[in-house]
Amino acid sequence: MIYNIYLILKKFKKEFYSFFFKSLTSFFIRSKIKILRIIDYGEIIFFKKNNKRIFSIIFFCNKILLIKILKLFNLKKESIAFFIILKKKINFYIENIFKIKNFLSQKFLILPSIINKINYKLQKKICKIIKLLKIFGIIPNTLNKYIKKIKNFLC
């Protein structure tokens, strides 16, 4: 099965990133995991914290090896700020992060009457998108109370 790992690494020198990915790719090769693509999105400014660097790794493996990867990332807490493993890609959101930030800061007011008219499948998608945007720090702290109201209503 194809999985996507999104890593948010703490800010280090460039040599650290190359060493980190050499050790990570050697782990993947030893475990016979096929790496399809590694994407470096560069440093992105978050609302809450300092600049962090986002990487995306797309790979093919089974569930047993996926558990090994989770254990490996839990051991490297000093270098990894956050990681998430998904079956679906969210590259669109990361690539257009600045457009999304501008859009959210200008037009993120959703009226409750509009939310009532959204069908259940769309409510689930909106809830997942809001969770992912909060995880990546795209939504600022000033909107947290409003988002909690929307989440309570939708989820």
Residue type, 64: I
pLDDT of the residue at 111 = 45
Question: For the chain, which domains are there?
Answer: 2-95 (3.30.70.60), 97-154 (no CATH)
Name beta bridge partners: 6: 56, 84
Within 7-119, where are the H helices? 14-30, 63-75, 91-95, 97-107, 112-116
How does the average pLDDT of the chain come out, rounded? 73
Tens of pLDDT, residue by residue over 78-103, are 888 888 888 877 766 666 666 666 66
Distance (Å, whole) CA 42 – CA 88: 21
Mean pLDDT of 124-141: 69
Mean pLDDT of 2-25: 81
pLDDT of the residue at 154 = 53
Tens of pLDDT, residue by residue over 98-131, are 666 666 555 555 444 454 555 556 667 777 777 7
